[in-house]
Amino acid sequence: MNGTPHQHAQEVVRLESVRKIYGRSKNQVTALDGVTIGLHRGSFTAVMGPSGSGKSTFLHCAAGLDQPTSGSVLLDGTDLAPLKERELTKLRRERIGFIFQAFNLLPALSVVDNVTLPLRLAGHRPRKAAVDEVIERVGLAGRRNNRPGELSGGQQQRVAIARALITQPAVIFGDEPTGALDTSTAREVLRLLREAVEFGGQTIVMVTHDPVAASHADRVLFLADGRIAGSLERPTADLVAERMTHLGAWGDEPAVSRTGRGRHQ
């Protein structure tokens, strides 16, 4: 399970025995209960699990937005634990891209200015050719000067993807990136993410509730009660949905009712 140092070198994200406990004494909640996992460069991982299983906590710990109670997180070879808040902010800005369900674009800025914001915040002058390329890649060449309010939901998420890609981050974390989109728009967005992995070598980790969205990933990690309850390589939507049904049952129903249900109804 621990692999060799060489194998670890291929990993952009590594969590080692990560536990996250919220609250104190009687009100303690163990959100992550000893998670060890490595995510390889150029891989597309979906994280699924019932509500409360620890998906957001996993994402926040892996992205350096939250600190584990114990265990370690390595991002592109850097141990996050000793970093000061300023260093973490710099690392997040330069090495991580984020895509959220609610897009999180700045409404007063044009498409171009939204896309180049992370570069400018990091003190870099955006190169026009690189900006044009990324905007073209997400299909928004004709919309460079529009504001987010003038775009559809799918177009806004494509701006967010361009904004995530522009820094050439080690990893992009997505928190339900297709959660606010209709089915066909969601598919377009997922196709773009897939392309970034396949042709750009990008590493992506995405939390989702949607088995169809998860089926675009190379691998699905299933969380239950703060632990990795299994994984699925080359997932199909049907297989993912089936696993999710079982995970839901583990969380909500006693073992006896599981065995007699489903098949004969």
Interface residues with ligand ADP (CB under 6 A) are 22-23, 29, 31, 49, 51-57
If the CB atoms of residues 4 and 27 are measured against ligand ADP, the closer one turns out to be 27
| Nearer to ligand ADP (CB atom), residue 66 or residue 188 | 66
- CB-wise, 66 or 113, nearer to ligand ADP? 66
Residue 115's φ and ψ, nearest 5 degrees, are -65, -40
Q: CB of residue 157 vs ligand ADP: minimum separation in angstroms? A: 20
Spell out the residues 6+ positions from residue 147 whose beta carbon is closer than 8 angstroms to its own: 107, 108, 109, 110, 111
Strand, coil or helix: 194: helix
Least distance from C-beta 163 to ligand ADP, angstroms?
A: 23
Listed as own residue / partner, the contacts of 60-65 with beta carbons closer than 8 Å and 24 or more positions apart are 61/15, 61/18, 61/20, 61/32, 62/13, 62/15, 62/173, 62/205, 63/92, 63/96, 63/98, 63/173, 64/88, 64/91, 64/92, 64/96, 65/92
Q: Closer CB to ligand ADP, residue 22 or residue 238?
A: 22
To ligand ADP, the closest distance from the beta carbon of 62 in angstroms equals: 12
For ligand ADP, the closer of residues 10 and 17 by Cβ is 17
Please report how close the Cβ of residue 101 comes to ligand ADP at its closest, in angstroms. Answer: 12
Residue 93 Cβ, how far from ligand ADP at the closest point, in Å? 24
Q: Is the dihedral of CA 109, 126, 180, 104 positive or negative?
A: negative
Helix (H, G, I), strand (E, B) or coil at 200: coil
